[in-house]
Structure 1
């Protein structure tokens, strides 16, 4: 069962990576080069989705939108994502794309980016090693800090995609 679960997440991760590798850039003439409803920061577009989904479902929906669950690489980006999620009145935790479902304790981003920043809540309860779906990362809306959660929990989520050229 554990092998099948890890294989599933590995295939999902590879699918997301291949989707990004084989995607062709779309031409768009909007001033900010982000699709309608998305918000731009630097070279990326972001969207908050408030509907509760499991981690895997959230990543799948982001993939359908030609995106991934958000990977966060700075305090500024973390604050931006937090503001984006709270703009609609959200006060609940939400998913970002960091997880250890393939190898317990080895956190990776769903989009394959290097994990060069974190904002973990040092007082958070560590993930249970026998968790059925591994540990995924949620952002606690009230503090902006990250903590582990079962990947089977249902939360809103933030997707990220490159700016369209």
Structure 2
């Protein structure tokens, strides 16, 4: 596993602990890296404080929306796992994500993700939904996710038939139903809407580490 330090994130911590895999005490820097690389296969990086001998293993890389810039925490250094995902993909909790900026219909988006060894994004928790929004949705418009009721009207499922729907982020009153709105996407607030599958939107592909 290869780590690189990001000096832009010196002396800051995430706004909360939701992106932590573990917080470990009384560890040296090398021991922290071993935990990240061997004991925590979902580890996307680590925060380390040499003075405190404390190590925080992270589910994702940090971005400007995930850290508290107004409250310094001196001595912390961010090191990211460069092997978590290939270049252009972002890691979160054992999965890699890629935002395709080419707008396409839902079926084409799904097929393109499969060609890249993945699938249209499956959002399994509120935490993941929030991270996806902060990581990829910096402007208006919609982004496809992989849920639809194309197979059975009114029964929403992911594009992979063996994937269970454990979380949804529908806007109140959604999904509104009907054969003309069988796919779904989310906006810059993370709220989901159903919409016509032949609309063209950007989309996120997901795959395992």
Query: Is the shorter-chain TM-score for this pair beyond 0.5, marking a shared fold?
Result: yes
2 CA distance for matches of 1:125 and 1:33? 35
* TM-aligned CA deviation for residue 35 of structure 1: 1.3
The structure whose Rg is larger is 2
Instruction: Give the match for residue 139 of structure 2.
Output: 90
* Contact in 2 for aligned 1:62/1:68 (Cα 8 Å): yes
Residues 123 and 83 of structure 1: CA distance in aligned 2, closer, same or farther (over 3 Å): same
Determine which structure has the larger helix proportion and give its number.
Answer: 1
Instruction: Give the match for residue 23 of structure 2.
Output: none
Q: CA RMSD in A?
A: 1.6
**Equivalent of residue 69 in structure 1, options 120, 133, 136:** 120
- TM alignment of 1:32-111, pairs within 5 A: 32-86=83-137, 89-111=138-160
- TM alignment of 1:19-38, pairs within 5 A: 31-38=82-89
Determine which structure has the larger strand proportion and give its number.
Answer: 2
Instruction: For structure 1, list consecutive stretches of 5 or more residues without a partner in the other structure.
Output: 1-29
2:208 matched to 1:162? yes
Q: How many residues align?
A: 128
- TM alignment of 1:145-160, pairs within 5 A: 145-160=191-206
1 CA distance for matches of 2:112 and 2:129? 21
The runs of 4+ residues in structure 1 deviating greater than 2 Å are: 30-33
Q: Which has the higher contact order (CA 8 A, sep 6+)?
A: 1
